[in-house]
Amino acid sequence: MRFLTVKLLAATALSLTLAACVPGTTLPGAPAAVAQAPVPTDNALHYAGVSDDGKTVPTVPVEKVPPEFQVQQVDYTSAEAVGTIIIAPSERHLYYVNGKNTALRYGIAVGRAGFQWAGVANITSRTHWPKWTPPPEMIDRHPELAKWEKGQPGGPTNPLGARALYLTTNGVDYGYRIHGTPEWFSIGKNASSGCIRMINQDVMDLYNRVQDGAKVVVLNADGSYPDKLKLPPPAPKKKKPAPAPVEAVAPVLSATPTMLPGATTLPAAPAATITPAEASPAATVAPDATMAPAATMAPAAATTAPAATAPVVTAPDATAPVATTPAVTAPAATTAPAVTAPAPAVCAVPLVNGLCPQP
């Protein structure tokens, strides 16, 4: 009995010594061990509908899912540690290494042509019923998604499904996820924009097994191990449509002048008609005294003739309208001054032939 007591004390001292050298059983950088969910044995039960966080995950019709894309335990040779995820895009399979040369295999949907990628990443976060925000490039391809530019809340119709595992490479988030999908019928196809889709019940099962910081290997298209991160080429930028050429319109000539705001229409100039009143001062000439008619003379029998005064010739008191042009104003017509003819001289001798003989 005393021997057993001494042996027990020695074992205790040894364990305390090891504990002082290695602080805990977890290696630096390795995720903490978690309890493993049981491997599914009845897929009909595994894919049954379930209530989760107040939301309903619909039943998946197992008979419509090809057996190779239903979750199952398989033999899988790999040098990766337990807890590693290996994705084979060409097979549309995701392997979760859960033992030496064994793995759980899930059916997945992968990136369609132009969206495939390969490389090594890590799971840096996980979430229930994630919010989905389509990137600007996706909105450009599908304008109907613009309504979710601020994010679509998690729910049964959300494209990310019931769970999402976020991947980063060397601390950089390239937007790739392992997530669920309500479109279970897309499993086994190249249907995504680069993310790894799983049936909701499968991603919920994987979520419970995997740990934050777990390694994720995405194999090359030919199944080989990637030596570096290989991303799809960036989508070409959408070219802005060139502006439509402006067709030159020839001006329409019109006989009718264009009226500008505030312009005053000038009256049409009257035809040039010369009237006595319109005559210029030089053209208005008073009748000469020598042109007086003989009828104004006194009869021959009279010895003296009364002084006769010729009537005053006065231009009519009418003024012709002034014709105004944009820059020239015609001078107003001036009334000619009245001219008084001189009275005829009184003849002191008898008239001869009606004329006064000159001395």
Write out the catalytic residue numbers. 179, 195
User: How many whole angstroms separate alpha carbon 176 and alpha carbon 168?
Assistant: 8
User: What is the per-residue DSSP string for 39-68?
Assistant: PPS-HHHHTS-EEETTEEEPPP-GGGS-GG
**Is the separation of the CB atoms in 177 and 89 below 8 Å?**
no
Q: Give Cβ neighbours of residue 44 (< 8 Å, ≥ 6 apart).
A: 62
Question: SS3 for 86?
Answer: strand
**Which residue type occupies 312?**
V
User: How many whole angstroms separate alpha carbon 78 and alpha carbon 225?
Assistant: 11
How many residues are listed for the chain in this entry?
A: 359
Report the greatest alpha carbon distance in the chain.
205
Q: Quote the strand ranges of 5-160, DSSP E.
A: 50-52, 55-57, 72-75, 85-88, 93-99, 102-107, 110-111, 119-128
Q: Pseudo-torsion of CA 23, 26, 28, 33, nearest 10°?
A: -150
143 token code pair: 């304008």
- The residues pairing with 75 across neighbouring beta strands, listed in sequence order, are 102
